[in-house]
Amino acid sequence: MRKVAIIGTGMTKVDKHWRKSLKELFGEAGIAALNQTGSPAIDCLIVGNMCASDLSDQNNIGALLADYLGFVPNTAYRVEAACGSGGAAFLAAYSAVASGMYDVVMTGGVEKLTDGVGGNTTLSLGKAADAEYELFYGSSFVSLNAMIMRYYMDHYGVPREAFADFAVLMHRNGSRNPFAQLPFEIKRETVLNSDMISDPITLFDCAPVGDGAAALILCPLEDAKKYSDDFVEVAGISGATDTINIASRESLLSFRSTVTAADRAYRMAHISPADIDVAEIHDTFTITGVLSLEDLGFCERGKFHKMMMNGAFEPGGVVAVNPSGGLKSRGHPVGATGAYQIAELFLQLTGRAGKMQVPDASIGLAQNIGGSGSSTYVTVLRRV
């Protein structure tokens, strides 16, 4: 297996892009990544997407984007793993380069959620759950996470305000991100007094609905200097799964898929959680972010609020968490989210994150979840 590097990235601002199509959004991100690397010949395109079939009436995403970007007749295909599609696509791209099958691969993700209308978008996102045993009986993606959040609060005696404070931190971070959909600060009361979505989850516990695309270019580490002076090594990577319906889980207080994928990625990179300088974690809802902190080994279970109050998740603390603002503030164009996370880490590790920069960041981690923890993809990047 060859060592693999990321040599270039491109992102669009996450927003409601009414006047841009799927191919135009990804094209913008892809061209930005190409321009960063001297436009190398792309051997293969692997893109993550969840909802195009439902909301944009478009299948065959790989061929669509290869045609638009001028990659025909090379290999191109779509990867779907619900909200984890971007992370899954990156794992497939890594494998393609590491195996020696392809030398230069573009990967990433694209999503247009605003093409759907209200209930259509809710239904499409809900299909990340078990359609037969959860959606059929009236559960939604939000209500499933609300049950987990309520159970967590009762089990550990954690006050509702603690989750609001997590959202406040994410918005503080996102206010410095030029790619963020919600680049503004909020107060605890903003979260607590916002509209109830599914008790105890309110509007500001949720990542917003938006559109966006992010692209990354990978090549063998030994060839990276041919294309760019700024590159990072993929030091560890893995994916794992759990039962798709939460009723079959061994525990609702931890996502086994995250624990397993993280352990494998740490072992591959020969590091521990204590070695991570900056992490982009999956916070579709505030409860998802909290469980992610614990499952990744950054926080003792049930103690996140006390650690957060002490600055543990800010630069200089235990680990800088979501300097981009995370899904909560940067936005969550679901099929692209995993690619955004890795692209944000690339900027951090190459010292180009601007106002978001974490000083002396050398090792970063991205964690991308599909469904309510039914799949997770963890990537560890190292500055070279």
Helix, coil or strand: residue 214 = strand
Q: How far apart are CA 106 and CA 119, in angstroms?
A: 33
Q: What is the DSSP letter of 15?
A: B
Structure tokens at 97: 């380069």
* Single-letter residue type at 45: L
CA-CA distances (angstroms) from residue 62 to 58, 71, 211, 264?
A: 11, 10, 18, 29
Question: Is residue 333 reached through a cis peptide bond, with omega within 30 degrees of 0 on the bond before it?
Answer: no
Active site residue 332: yes
Q: Which of 17, 171, 305, 332 is catalytic?
A: 332
- For residue 234, how many other CB atoms are within 10 A of its CB? 25
Q: Are 325 and 171 in contact (CB under 8 A)?
A: yes
Q: Write the CB contacts of 352 (distance below 8 Å, at least 6 apart in sequence).
A: 230
Structure tokens at 187: 């107060």
Q: What is the DSSP letter of 285?
A: B
Task: Give me the helices (H) in the chain, please.
Answer: 22-36, 61-69, 85-98, 119-126, 141-156, 160-174, 188-192, 256-269, 286-295, 304-309, 326-329, 337-349
Rounded to 5°, the CA angle 134-367-187 comes to 85
Helix, coil or strand: residue 345 = helix
Q: How far apart are CA 358 and CA 351, in angstroms?
A: 8
Active site residue 299: no
Q: Are 236 and 271 in contact (CB under 8 A)?
A: yes
Q: Which of 44, 51, 83, 299 is catalytic?
A: 83
Q: How far apart are CA 193 and CA 205, in angstroms?
A: 11
Q: Is 35 buried (19+), middle (13-18) or exposed (0-12) by CB count in 10 A?
A: exposed
Query: Catalytic residue numbers?
Result: 83, 332
